[in-house]
Amino acid sequence: MKDDINILKWKIKVKRMANKGHKNRQKRISYNGRCQIKRKEFVWTFNQAPGPYAKNTGATLGSIIRDILHFADNSREIKYILTNKDCRVNGKRIKDEHFPLGLFDVLEFKDVDKRYRIFLNNKNKFVLKDLSKEKLFRPCRIVSKKIITGSNIQLGFDNGFSWILPKTVKANVGDTVEYNIEKAKFGEITKLQENAQVYVVGGPHVSKIGILKAIVKGDVTKANEITVESEGKTFKTREKYVFVIPNDLKL
C-alpha cells in the first residue's frame, strides 16, 4: 500500500514537471541576455519567448522599449504601446512584449515615425541607432544551405528567415544578404572574402569594424580563423564572430 502511494506521488510530480510550459518572468539577477538592465533595481524582467535567438544573444521587445529606449515605465504602458500603436520588427507588426530581437534587427514605431537598428557595444550589449534618414534594410547572415523539393536550394539566416535561392545567384554559408524591409524582398549579396567589410559580433574584439584580410581554414580540431584590420591594427578571431556587412550599412 505504501509503495502504491509513493508511485502515485511520483506520477503526479512528473505530470506537473511536464506541464510547466513557458514562463513569462525572468529574475533580473540571473539574466544573461544582451539588454542593458539594472539587476538589483527590481526582482523581475521579461522572459524571452522561443524564437531564432538564444537567451544570451537576444533581448525581449519589452526590455528594449522600457530599459533602452525608455518609452515606458512599466509593463502596463508597454502592453498599451504594443496593442494600440503600430510597432514593427523587420517590417512585421509585433504585439508580444516577450518577442526576441537580435543583432541588426530593425525596430519601427510607425505612429511617431521612429526607426532603430540594433548594434553591439564593446561590452557585448545592445545599443540602438536612429535610422530616420537611412535605407531600411536588414543584413542577414547565411547560417545554413540545403537542397529541398525540386532541386531548389534553401538558405537559412541568423534571424530565422529563409529564402529559396534563384538558380542564377550563388551564395554560401557566411555570406550576407540584404533584406529590403519596405519591399519584403532579398537583394544584394555580400561575400565572405578578402577586402570585405566586417563587423565583429563576439570575442574580445566585439563591436569592432574592419577589413577582412585573410581566411585560414581549420580542421576537425580547430575552427576557421579570420584576420581583420581595424583602425590600423591587425587581430585574429574565429569565423563565427565575423559578420560581413555591406558598404552602405552605416554604424
Determine the Cα–Cα distance for residues 210 and 197; give it in Å rounded to an integer: 6
Quote the number of domains for the chain: 3
Supply the DSSP string of 120-167, one letter for each residue.
E-TTS-EEEEE-TTS--EEEEEEEEEEEEGGGEEEEEETTS-EEEE-T
Please indicate, yes or no, whether residues 38 and 121 belong to a single structural domain of this protein: yes
On whether residue 120 sits in a domain, the answer given is yes
pLDDT of residue 194: 92
Q: Does one domain contain both 124 and 49?
A: yes
Q: Is 81 part of any domain? A: yes
Nearest to 90 by CA among 105, 110, 104, 112: 105
Answer whether residue 71 is part of any domain: yes
**What count of residues does the chain have?**
251
Domain boundary among 190, 208, 232: 190
Q: Distance (Å, rounded) from C-alpha 174 to C-alpha 177?
A: 10
Same domain, residue pair 123 and 157: no
For residues 166 and 126, state if they share a domain: no
Residues 67 and 88 occupy one common structural domain: yes
Residues 153 and 216 grouped into a single domain? no
Q: Domain boundary at 130, 153, 172, which?
A: 130
Task: Tell whether 185 and 225 lie within a shared domain.
Answer: no
Classify 132 in phi/psi space as left (phi over 0), alpha (psi -120 to 50) or beta.
alpha
Residue 13 to residue 146: CA distance in whole angstroms: 42
Which residue type sits at 83? T
| Residue 29: per-residue pLDDT | 82
Cell 532579398, located at residue: 186
**Cβ(120)–Cβ(207) under 8 Å?**
yes
Kindly state whether residues 55 and 79 are assigned to the same domain. Answer: yes
pLDDT of residue 227: 94
Say if residue 39 is in the same domain as residue 88.
yes
Classify residue 110: in a domain, yes or no: yes
* Closest to 201 measured CA to CA, from 90, 30, 53: 53
Asked whether residue 6 is domain-assigned, the answer is no
Q: Which residue, 108, 130, 152, sits at the end of a domain?
A: 130
CATH code at position 172: 2.40.50.740
Give the structural domain span for 73: 25-130
Helix, strand, coil share (%) of the chain residues, nearest 5 = 20, 35, 45
- Residue 219 DSSP class: B
Residue 236 maps to which CATH number? 2.30.30.30
Report the alpha-carbon distance of residue 9 to residue 134 in Å, rounded. Answer: 61
pLDDT at residue 219, rounded to an integer: 82
CATH assignment of the domain containing 114: 3.10.290.10
Q: What's the CA gap between 145 and 172, in Å, rounded?
A: 7
- Provide the whole-model pTM: 0.84
What was the pLDDT predicted at 8?
55
Question: Is 34 a member of any domain?
Answer: yes
Q: What is the pLDDT of residue 14?
A: 52
> Does residue 125 share a domain with residue 141?
no
Print pLDDT tens along the chain (251 aa): 555 555 555 555 555 555 555 677 788 888 778 888 877 777 888 888 888 898 888 999 999 999 899 999 999 999 999 999 999 999 999 999 999 999 999 999 988 889 999 999 999 999 999 987 777 899 999 999 998 887 889 999 999 899 998 888 889 999 999 999 989 999 899 999 999 999 999 989 999 999 999 998 888 788 889 999 998 899 999 999 999 999 878 77
CA 64 to chain centre: 13
Same domain, 110 and 161: no
Is residue 49 located within the same domain as residue 125?
yes
Residue 214 corresponds to which cell in the numbers above?
585573410
